[in-house]
Structure formats: structure tokens, C-alpha cells
Amino acid sequence: MTVGNGRIGRIVMAAAAKHLTPVLLELGGKSPVVVDSGINLQVAVRRIIAGKWGCNNGQACISPDYIIIAKSYAPKLVDTLKSELEKFYGKNPLESKDLSRIVNSNHFTRLVKYLDEDKVSGKIVYGGERDITNLKIAPTILLDVPRDSLIMSEEIFGPLLPILTVDKIEDSFDIINSGTKPLAAYLFTNNKKLRQQFVSTVSAGGLVVNDTTLHLAVHALPFGGVGESGMGAYHGKFSFDAFSHKKAVLYRSFAGDAAIRYPPYTVGKLRLMKILMTGSIFSIIGALLGWSKV
């Protein structure tokens, strides 16, 4: 088993192939959050914050990577995010003891590169402050970033949260499916039809409706990726399944030895074999009694 990104996964898989060793890969990806209108937005935002900044300041494989929302509803989302983030981390989040540091200086530099890209720097609507001495970056919201920007091309793995807007919320699924398959995908909605469309349309390692990241804690659910986000699944019973070889064992007695298995292979034996392969008990009985013809 390996946890990492796609590059590491390919290296491990290539090494394992030399020995024909099966692998379980938990990789990553850009886990999207689709936010519908007509919901309890404050609760939704709090759960997004908990999954993003509350999970090691976004440095977790299933943290929300970006949000998709209808253009008309985006201002309300941004305002609610600002309000709730200030409640949780204060007016100066860089001084908050509840906000995790960036894991190392190389990763800090990588995140700053995303923010300072020309096509992105003007899209920051909240946050953006950074403290290189303490390796801290404030919770940062970006609105309508170009989809060909660096921040939308790679897994962020940090406190930066881009928001993409669409004319219709149903268009969100096309955006998600146009990229690689994520480790997780989240939807906030009260619309049953939209929920069903989400489940049937989006291919991801795991899906959560009206929350983020909590599926990781439910050991009755398999946890793993698909495509670029990994292969195989574990947790609970699924861990035993993943790391066990299913060895088939069949015990037979010396009784009931069927002549149909052995030469000479006659037309009658062939007819009986075909009927046996249909699995119909009535056909089998008929063949034994000489009633059936094939």
C-alpha cells in the first residue's frame, strides 16, 4: 500500500510489476464541492471550513480543493465564508493557534506560486496573507479563477480555496468529469434529483452529500480512489479484503463420479452437457428422462 500523488503511485506500481505484486494506491486529486442554492448555507459553509482549514489547513488528501456554485449565488457564499472564517480564526488568522502551519518551506513556496501567478493574483477576494517565518498562509478565497491556471491544474493541498461559477448548477458535473477522477467529491443540496444525478454522474473515490470528509471516519464504508486518485479500498472489513488473498478450496468425495466427463464423447453426452450448462432443473430432468432434444 502506498499513499502519495500520481507520480509516486506510478513509481511504486512499476516496481511492483517486476514481482507481479498487487498494490493498493491511495493517491489524491482535486476534490470538488458543489454548492446548490436553497440550503442552510451557514451550516454548509461551516462544514466546508471544517473539511478544508480544519483538516490540517487543507493539507489532507480529501480536503475540499475547489467549489462550484451558480454565479447568482456566489456572492452570498463568499460573504458567508468570510464571516464564518473570521469567527473561527479571528481578524488576523496568521496569529491563530487553531490554524496549522504549512508542512515545509518547499510546500510553502509552491502554494505562494499559485497565489502569485498573474492570472490568479487579482482573483483573491479574502485572505492571501502569508508569514514565511512561521510557514503560515491565511485562509484564502479566490473567485472565478481561470481553469487553465496552476491552482486549477494541480491538487492544492493547502489553505487556498478557488470558487468556480456556472450558469446552472447541473453544469458542475461536466466540469468535474472533464478532469481526473478525484479521491472525494462533495455536494450540498436539498434537491433529490440533483443528488441522484451527482451519485450517478460523478466518478470519484467517495461521495458525501451535505458534508465533507466524514466518510473517512465511517469504517463500514470502503475508502480508496479510482483512476488518477488510486486503486483499491480499505477500512474496516475492506482492509482484510484488500490485504488478503482469496484462496479457493474445494473438497470432493469419491462418490458420484459422472461418466459424462470421460471419453468416448457421444452425441448423447454432448446433448446432456448443453442442457446442464443452461442451469434449468426442468431441462436437466427432461434430458435424464429422454424428453428433451437439443
Catalytic residues: 26
Rg, Å, the chain Cα set: 27
How far, in Å, CA of 54 to CA of 85, rounded?
Answer: 11
Query: Are residues 137 and 159 in contact, defined by beta-carbon separation less than 8 angstroms?
Result: yes
Task: Please classify residue 207 by burial: count the beta carbons closer than 10 Å to its beta carbon, then call 0-12 exposed, 13-18 middle and 19+ buried.
Answer: middle
Positive or negative, the CA dihedral 247, 253, 256, 258 is positive
How far, in Å, CA of 160 to CA of 90, rounded?
Answer: 17
Identify the helix (H) or strand (E) that includes residue 160.
strand 160-166
Give me the residues paired with residue 130 across strands.
Answer: 137
All three cell numbers of 49, joined, read 471550513
Task: Please classify residue 25 by burial: count the beta carbons closer than 10 Å to its beta carbon, then call 0-12 exposed, 13-18 middle and 19+ buried.
Answer: buried
* Length of the chain in terms of residues written: 294
Query: Are residues 3 and 229 in contact, defined by beta-carbon separation less than 8 angstroms?
Result: no
